[in-house]
Amino acid sequence: MLEADSLEEVRAMAKSQLPNGFKEVSEKILQYDCKIIAGTGRTVEEAFAALEKRVPPGAAITRHTNVTDPDQRTIDLNVDLHDDAPAARRAGKFTTGGDQIVSEVQLLKKGSQGFLGMGKKPWQYRATILQYAKI
């Protein structure tokens, strides 16, 4: 029984141990470690292309599953009044964690301070959130 980090290394080791004139008739792989890798992108095709780039040399994709499909949604936010727009609006883009990104933030309505805190109105924003495809 031979053991190595890759299938090619095991085959080379087996070939080097064969006496001259002998040939390998068959081989049996007792254990072959599979690795789970993921690829993400704005579309399923981009995610699959990213996945293919991460496949190690000599390995093959045996199965792939769509973990998340691409999606886009908008949400409305009310933010308490302050002197400046939120940092998210200044930055324009920031991640929400995972495979989502806030791609656009629009100011819908400016808030007001009110009089002595009475009649205070929040700033209103609309954010567009993109969900990347993950394979």
Sketch the domain layout of the chain as residue ranges: 27-135
pLDDT at res. 114: 78
pLDDT at res. 92: 46
- Please state, rounded to an integer, the average pLDDT across all residues of the chain: 77
Count of C-beta atoms within a 10 Å radius of residue 88: 16
Token couple for 38: 């993921």
67: pLDDT strictly greater than 70: yes
6: pLDDT strictly greater than 80: no
For 11-40, letters b (16+ CB in 10 Å) and e give eeeeeeeeeeeeeeeeeeeeeeeeeebebb
pLDDT at res. 93: 46
- Is the pLDDT higher at 86 or at 72? 72
110: pLDDT strictly greater than 60: yes
CA distance 15 to 68: 44
CB 45 within 8 A of CB 63: no
pLDDT at res. 118: 81
Residue 98 pLDDT grade (very low, low, confident, very high; cuts 50, 70, 90): low
CA distance 3 to 18: 16
- Over range 9-37, report the average pLDDT: 79
pTM attached to this predicted model: 0.50
